[in-house]
Amino acid sequence: MHIRRSPFALLTLLLASSAYAQQAAYEFKEFLPMGGYTRQSFAGSDTRLLYGTDFNRDGRADLVTRSRSAVAVYVNQHDGSFIHYWSIPTEGSSTAVGGGDIDGDNWPDLLVSSPPSAVQRFINNRGNGFTPDSQTLSLQPTGRHPMINDLLLADFNRDNKLDIVALDSDPANPDRAYTIGGSTFLHRTSAALLWGQGGGAFAADSARPRVPVAEYPLRARVIDLNDDGNLDVVTNSGTSLHLLQNHYQSGGLLPALSLAPVSANASVHGDILGVSTGDLNADDRKDLAITYYTNAPPTGRAYRLKFYRNATPHPQLRFVLEADPAEITLPAPGNGLAVANFNDDAHNDIIVGLESAGAASIALYAGRGGFSFDPPVTINGGFSAGELVTGDFNSDNRPDIAVVDIDNNRVAIYLHR
């Protein structure tokens, strides 16, 4: 039903939106210690945050933190704060972590990368932490020296068992080749694909043990980009993006689109730092947003926020993403990135975590539709930000923020006011 608004009501709404945009809509709640080492240049690649899994089954989604040397689970309280639930020290450079019910008992478990070439299972003790499983999940059959940068745990083939896509770029073995479907590609341009067998077991697909992804992949995200009910995958390396479209009825995860937002020119250096998805132009399609930087003489470094419009004509057709000409220049590296509607209007907004070494830790860009945004309002946390996630921490139907403070190895929680 369409409700007709009076001019006075529209003016009131516009004034309220303008006033809203001039102030940060968030207040600091608490810090959560990550443990371990997180500080590194452009440290969004050095930490992980997961939000959305209810590990203790109390009806509230919980938070997982992962540094290079520790994993911790914090359970959500009714007021939006989090308390420590379980943690374990880890070692090595791999920082991948995933959560979900892998053994079929309806209690979410953890998968944690264990260098150099395995994923360790931590079984949920049904409300009392996790127990490490002595039997690790080895990626050895699909790579000799993998360094696990990220992993996805999701049901890609709709058999009610969680599957794994693991980014193990194997830098010590850059030339190993695979032939799949008549095409040959290198190990460094692929990810391991393992199907869930139930009871915590996984097995590589005999025909397609690997799937093509961005070269030397760093991060991966699950997204139903074309709203066909199948979970798709977007991966990024330092300079490129690769999308896998899920055709589970006829072939599983298949390469659909590659994008190169950062030049591979030898005189230009750059990296993709953050990736997020959401409807940014109110056409009910999920678009793509990235943060990246370039370092090109003589202009030097530039930090930017870039958008790709989802123009896919039909769920069963190949993805079509078109770069929007409007880009936003950021004041610092944008390690964290999320799409969320923080001002409760008709448009999604952008939240960026800044590695600023100063007051502006988070920049909030209120969306106006059509990939245009208001000037940023900042949250002055006084720290450099790494990865961030958003979610409704206190059940008030507004997006809250968890962001890594990479200066002090902790996570800052901000609640929507």
Residues 229-273: pLDDT tens digits? 999 999 998 889 999 999 887 778 988 999 998 876 656 678 899
Q: Using the 8-state DSSP alphabet, how is residue 3 labeled?
A: P
Q: Using the 8-state DSSP alphabet, how is residue 347 labeled?
A: S
Which has the minimum average pLDDT: 83-87, 91-95, 322-326, 355-359?
Answer: 91-95
Among residues of the chain, what percentage have pLDDT more than 70?
83
Q: Are 279 and 349 in contact (CB under 8 A)?
A: no
What pLDDT is stored for residue 317 in this prediction? 84
What pLDDT is stored for residue 413 in this prediction? 98
Q: How far apart are CA 396 and CA 417, in angstroms?
A: 10
Average pLDDT score over residue span 31-38 = 76
Is the confidence at residue 21, as pLDDT, over 60? Answer: no
Is the confidence at residue 76, as pLDDT, over 60? Answer: yes
Average pLDDT score over residue span 134-151 = 67
Average pLDDT score over residue span 352-357 = 88
Task: Look at residues 97, 215, 110 and name the one whose alpha carbon lies nearest to residue 166.
Answer: 97
- Determine what percent of the chain falls in helix, strand and coil, rounding each to the nearest 5: 5, 50, 45
Looking at per-residue pLDDT, the higher value among 142 and 86 belongs to: 86
Q: Are 337 and 275 in contact (CB under 8 A)?
A: yes
Which has the minimum average pLDDT: 24-28, 34-38, 202-206?
Answer: 34-38
Average pLDDT score over residue span 21-45 = 68
What pLDDT is stored for residue 79 in this prediction? 94
Is the confidence at residue 10, as pLDDT, over 50? Answer: no
Which has the minimum average pLDDT: 1-15, 17-31, 124-138, 364-378?
Answer: 1-15
Average pLDDT score over residue span 6-31 = 56
Burial 272-283 (b: 16+ CB within 10 A, else e): bbbbbbbbbbee
Among residues of the chain, what percentage have pLDDT more than 90?
53
- Three-class DSSP category at 8: helix
What pLDDT is stored for residue 263 in this prediction? 73
Average pLDDT score over residue span 169-197 = 75
Listed ranges 81-95, 117-131, 159-173; the one with the highest mean pLDDT: 117-131
Average pLDDT score over residue span 7-22 = 39
Is the confidence at residue 197, as pLDDT, over 80? Answer: yes
Dihedrals φ, ψ of 80, to 5°?
90, 0
pLDDT 10s digits, 299-350: 778 899 999 999 998 888 888 999 999 899 999 999 999 999 999 999 999 9
Q: How far apart are CA 398 and CA 378, in angstroms?
A: 18
Kindly report the average pLDDT of the chain as a whole number: 84
**Six-digit token string for 228:** 């066909």
pLDDT 10s digits, 370-393: 999 999 999 999 999 999 999 999
pLDDT 10s digits, 275-307: 999 999 999 999 999 999 888 776 778 899 999
**Six-digit token string for 115:** 């260098």
Residues ≥6 apart with Cβ < 8 Å to 290: 236, 241, 261, 272, 273, 274, 275, 276, 305, 306, 308, 337
pLDDT 10s digits, 46-71: 688 999 999 999 999 999 998 878 89
